[in-house]
Amino acid sequence: MRLSRRALLASTLALAACDRPIGATAAAQTPPKGSAPALRDLAPYPFGTQLISTELDTPIIAELAARHFDQVNTGFELKMEYIVQPDGRLRFEGGDRLAAFCRANGQAIHAHTLVWYADTPDWFARLDGSRRAMEAAYDGYVREVAGRYAGRVRAWDVVNEPVTDEGSDLRDSLWSRNLGQDGHFIRAFELAHEADPNAILFTNDYNLESNPTKRRTFLNLVERMMNRGVPIGGIGTQCHVSVDLPAGALTTALRDIASLGLPVHVSEFDCSLVPDGIFRGSQREREADQIRLYEEALESYAALPARQQYGFTVWGVRDAESWLRRTDYGGDPSDRPLLFDDLGQPKPVFWAVAEALRG
């Protein structure tokens, strides 16, 4: 099966195989008059962004994050790759700085992420093959990190991206090899729940709208865990979509994901202007399609039962900081997937989102 561009981007082996540059000039559009409304005041559910604490050094990012979003997803600093030091000590400066920012601005924290197949610091990797040592280290980590932020975060992504890109299987990883495929999952949820009984515990994955096989495998996993009484409290669908995603795919996926009855988080929404496949639209058509996809996501999210609307998160504030710009991810430096341009000005897609949130 051909892997999608998104799957290639996710792979650490991805060679930069991107489409042609898409040009830096925005289509000429006159923004509506008046100042931009605060999106957090318009949304009937928590409306989030992803942040990294160092971004707060840029005043416009801090301002926009505080004004428009009432939930923050910790993009980097609650991952093992940041927290775990080479000698096994844990550092929390970044997470604590974000937590202080959120407290000052009345924002909830969606903590991301305790366990991730792609995040296996050397300090853990050296325990590969020693089950008991791995259990002790893994348990200790989950307890300490979830416990440290107990009472301060609304939720955790406990296991991130459990399903393969092809979609039929769960991933093999350092964690699954040593603690079992279901085993490492159950263990992390149970320990996180003990450490922070009030946090809503999520699993989270991508391409669920473009790969129905992957969606089925993911939902089967969640259902199996629910049936076993594992304290799973919500489902995250990342929604890193590209401009040529067919209309209707997001709606179908959200309905399907919601069918299990758990709260649903649109957890990492962005829409790349670089097509996933061969898409021959003009720049202006791509921007129009991007707006339509943001609108479809928000409309189909609003159609879910209110008690399942955990929140909708966009993956960053300004285009300039987007991971889709980064060439080390196979991204395109001219991509513009978010609501605010490089200078922090609201783009046409911002106004469309404000309208969609007004309902």
* Residue positions annotated with a catalytic role: 161, 268
Is residue 10 within 8 A of residue 39, CB to CB? The reply is no
Q: In the complex, what is the shortest distance from the CB of residue 33 to ligand 9MR, in angstroms, rounded to a whole number?
A: 34
Q: In the complex, what is the shortest distance from the CB of residue 120 to ligand 9MR, in angstroms, rounded to a whole number?
A: 12
- Closer residue to ligand 9MR, CB minimum distance, 76 or 218: 76
The residues that touch ligand 9MR, with contacts defined as CB under 6 A, are: 75-76, 79, 81, 160, 206, 238, 268, 323
Tell which residue, 247, 313, 356, 351, has the closest CA to residue 34: 351
Neighbours of 31 (CB within 10 A): 12
Q: In the complex, what is the shortest distance from the CB of residue 61 to ligand 9MR, in angstroms, rounded to a whole number?
A: 14
Grouping H, G, I as helix, E, B as strand and the rest as coil, residue 185 is helix
Q: In the complex, what is the shortest distance from the CB of residue 112 to ligand 9MR, in angstroms, rounded to a whole number?
A: 6
- Closer residue to ligand 9MR, CB minimum distance, 154 or 348: 154
The CA distance from 316 to 154, in Å, is 19
- Closer residue to ligand 9MR, CB minimum distance, 73 or 300: 73
Residue whose C-beta lies closest to ligand 9MR: 323
- Closer residue to ligand 9MR, CB minimum distance, 209 or 268: 268
Q: What angle do CA 128, 133, 137 make, to 5 degrees?
A: 95
Give, as one character, the DSSP assignment of residue 112.
E
Q: In the complex, what is the shortest distance from the CB of residue 268 to ligand 9MR, in angstroms, rounded to a whole number?
A: 5
Q: In the complex, what is the shortest distance from the CB of residue 240 to ligand 9MR, in angstroms, rounded to a whole number?
A: 6
Grouping H, G, I as helix, E, B as strand and the rest as coil, residue 107 is coil
Distances from the Cα of 292 to the Cαs of 22, 133, 286, 298, in angstroms? 19, 50, 10, 10
The CA distance from 17 to 33, in Å, is 40
The CA distance from 278 to 139, in Å, is 46
Tell which residue, 284, 274, 281, has the closest CA to residue 22: 274
336-347 per-residue burial string, b: 16 or more CB within 10 A, e: under 16:
bbbbbeeebebb
Task: Detail the DSSP E strand segments found in the chain.
Answer: 47-51, 71-74, 108-116, 155-160, 200-205, 234-237, 240-242, 264-272, 309-314
Q: In the complex, what is the shortest distance from the CB of residue 313 to ligand 9MR, in angstroms, rounded to a whole number?
A: 11
Can you tell me which residue has the tokens 């960053």?
A: 316
Chain centroid to Cα 50, Å, comes to: 8
Distances from the Cα of 221 to the Cαs of 11, 185, 215, in angstroms? 22, 10, 10
- Closer residue to ligand 9MR, CB minimum distance, 99 or 317: 317
- Closer residue to ligand 9MR, CB minimum distance, 14 or 36: 14
- Closer residue to ligand 9MR, CB minimum distance, 289 or 321: 321
